Chains A and B, each alone.
Chain A
């Protein structure tokens, strides 16, 4: 048995260490260690609730819009307000623009270097070397490198598009309880529209096909990284003011069956995390008593569970639960005639894999890009973008949304006009969680089991697996 430790895992956001035991060329056991603690839940206490929308965005500079959305929604609930139509749409336009930025960034700038040989200069070297690692034909590799450089420009433009309604990126000014801040005028709609066309074309003609080409060359990676095969989604991009429907739907898929989402069934375990043992708790009653040297703890990440079981979140989860029609690239991939529809679940087991997660992300990017265009046309220039939202003396509520990398939830209690309680479950908390009070591995830990590691000096598949989750 060989123990392999990778610290830092690079090309992610944050500080992660991955440890595995390898025997007979395959991963037999695994541990995911989150090695950063800042204490947002403690810092928020006692502050004006409206500050939470700004503070929580700083959890992540790649997906601040997700936390901004969840926080605004938690405040909407606690303040008892509902954004007007324009406000709901603007929030979707801001978050959606960031899905495009984040997914492009993820495939090209975070994941691709595990499959594509970059230039022979820093930071593209040093890298793992070995005969079987970079298997793209030279012409394809060259195109992928060009794609990497083009993608740098594309993701920058996605943020420019976002800033039309968001104010700036990263860290958006444009979200508040009760809606948004940027008035709608025709020039902004036109500005967003033409930028969106360029991005949609890049996603459709370059990003999406490239993922399938890489998938074809590394086809064995569709059979690796199944994980628990439990997924969940809180739902995101409300399509109507009553939130009767979402572009990506809420739901739970556990051991092969579909269930509706019940927020009360969410708990967090701290048994193997560096916090005082307070038992498994729903975030409405969660506490954060950090204890960095707790004996049997191995991570600062708590272990969220649904109905007591680990569930994966992210594009795979959302696309599996929503099961939308996929692009024609999926038809080509599965050999289905072009005039027939292919849905996410037609991928079957292949979806729950390293490559399946990349395909789900790219297909979701395309889906969101198309939806953004439709939502733009629903904006009404001159109509209000927010409703007045007074800070109540007391209030409570939660705000759920989906970051590009998965489900995000904020739970708030207000007392005497200030934050009395604030708990956050980020998407990577779900995915990179350590074992829970029952000893069940987290989603990434479980998906690592069985991953082939033919060369322990260059264990590339471990990194490919972890990065597919976009932690």
Chain B
């Protein structure tokens, strides 16, 4: 595992003392894993009813960057957007790796899981002439994985496909596992998309220190433990009741529809795209780390 402790701490925005770890910490987890595997921990990344935005966001990681992640931190066995293989060969390879590294690989899921019509709304491959649906494959792979990472609000909570009227009966991965009584631990890393640091940081935490402390909706407190509103640079304008009436003005964005007061997210600290800008500075917060935000926070451009 070649992420330095300093890189990891910077990723988490911590100075070294505040690292939170869960009671399920397995201290030598990562070292034992690496010894057992003789290499970087294997990751199988599958996509359901999503848009690939989470993957694109991770490609924007800066430190570690995607090159570091792919070549030095994980061994990415399957990822539909970047892998060389295709067709049944790709599906077979993923299944082979899941068996070979049973109990030792991490399953990343991006996108929601449509359960309507026996899973026919999302087919991810073919095996022996038969369709492989995302709902079935998620369960098969999750049973064998050491842990499941639900990247993005869709995978975590159903996201946009699950927004009213949820035409495909889409669900988050956690719900799918619970219904099937699959006990593999599942960490939610929501965001639409999640910040690359949350995804890379969660992977790194799991490998170095085990499962991080999670909040009541399964998110690492490390990244989702603060509200945008409590740390917003425009908070003083809110207190003074200096509200923007139009985009582009200086002031609190609450009257424009900003959902900062209800959103657990630390983008106020780490900004987006290598610190160039972030949602509230540019416009407002739509609350994309929260379950069901598309419905709960609608209309996005009116105060709640």
Q: Which residues in A have some Cβ–Cβ distance to B below 8 Å? A: 5-15, 17, 35-40, 42-43, 46-48, 50-51, 54-55, 58-62, 64, 105, 109-110, 113, 118-119, 121-127, 149, 152-153, 155-156, 159-160, 162-171, 173-174, 176, 180-183, 191, 290, 292-293, 300, 384-386, 388, 463
Contacts and interface: CB of A to CB of B under 8 A. Distances in A.
B120 interface: yes
B286 A54 contact: yes
B247 to A, nearest CB: 4
Interface in B63-84: 65-67, 70-71, 75-84
A209 B281 CA distance: 39
B125 A50 contact: no
A149 B67 contact: yes
Nearest to A418: B299
Contacts of A169: 56, 60, 272-273
A153 B70 CA distance: 13
A35 B122 contact: yes
A298 to B, nearest CB: 12
B124 A48 contact: no
B198 to A, nearest CB: 13
Given A164-B276, A167-B272, A123 B284 contact: no
Given A5-B129, A122-B42, 6 more contacts: A38-B121, A54-B286, A61-B56, A166-B277, A167-B279, A173-B286
B294 interface: yes
A9 B248 contact: no
Contacts of B208: none
B37 interface: no
B80 A10 contact: yes
Given A8-B125, A125-B84, A168 B279 contact: yes
B27 interface: no
24 contacts: A35-B122, A42-B165, A64-B51, A121-B71, A123-B78, A126-B89, A126-B93, A152-B67, A156-B61, A156-B65, A156-B66, A156-B274, A159-B273, A163-B272, A163-B276, A166-B277, A171-B53, A171-B288, A181-B247, A181-B282, A183-B248, A384-B248, A385-B248, A386-B248
Contact of A174 (B168, B283, B298): B283
Contact of B298 (A51, A121, A191): A51
Contact of B160 (A14, A37, A55, A160): A55
Contacts of A183: 248
B87 interface: yes
B217 interface: no
B89 to A, nearest CB: 6
Contacts of A164: 276-277
B289 interface: no
B52 A43 contact: no
Nearest to B301: A50
A10 B93 CA distance: 13
Contacts of B278: 167-168
A174 B59 contact: no
B90 interface: yes
A167 B277 contact: yes
Interface residues of B, number: 82
Contacts of A149: 67
A152 B59 contact: yes
B167 interface: yes
Interface string B95-137: 0000000000000000000100100111111100101000000
Given A123-B79, A386-B246, A38 B90 contact: no
A64 B168 CA distance: 22
B160 A38 contact: yes
Contacts of B301: 48, 50-51, 176
Given A8-B86, A61-B53, A386-B248, A122 B77 contact: yes
Most buried by B among A6, A35, A125, A293: A35
Given A37-B168, A127-B84, A292-B117, A58 B126 contact: no
What are the 10 closest A-B residue pairs judged by CB atoms, nearest first? A61-B53, A167-B282, A39-B167, A48-B299, A168-B272, A127-B84, A173-B283, A7-B126, A163-B273, A181-B247
Contact of B53 (A12, A40, A165, A170): A170
B277 A48 contact: no
- The binding surface of chain A is classed by DSSP as loop
A50 B300 CA distance: 8
Given A7-B125, A182-B282, A171 B192 contact: yes
A8 B84 contact: no
A110 B61 CA distance: 19
Contact of A13 (B76, B81, B165, B300): B81
A8 B137 CA distance: 13
Nearest to B39: A121
B247 A160 contact: no
B75 A122 contact: yes
Q: Which of B54, B164, B248 has the most CB of A within 10 A?
A: B248
Interface string B27-47: 000000000000000100001
Given A149-B67, A169-B60, A11 B82 contact: yes
B174 interface: no
Contact of A48 (B76, B164, B247, B298): B298
Contacts of B281: 167
B175 interface: no
Contacts of A180: 247
Contacts of B55: 61
A396 to B, nearest CB: 19
A173 B288 CA distance: 12
Nearest to B112: A38
Nearest to B84: A127
Contacts of A123: 70, 76-79, 82-84
B255 to A, nearest CB: 14
A123 B93 CA distance: 11
A40 B93 CA distance: 33
B272 A6 contact: no
B277 to A, nearest CB: 5
B193 interface: yes
B186 interface: no
B161 interface: yes
Interface in B185-199: 192-193
A47 B246 contact: no
B49 interface: yes
A113 to B, nearest CB: 5
B57 interface: yes
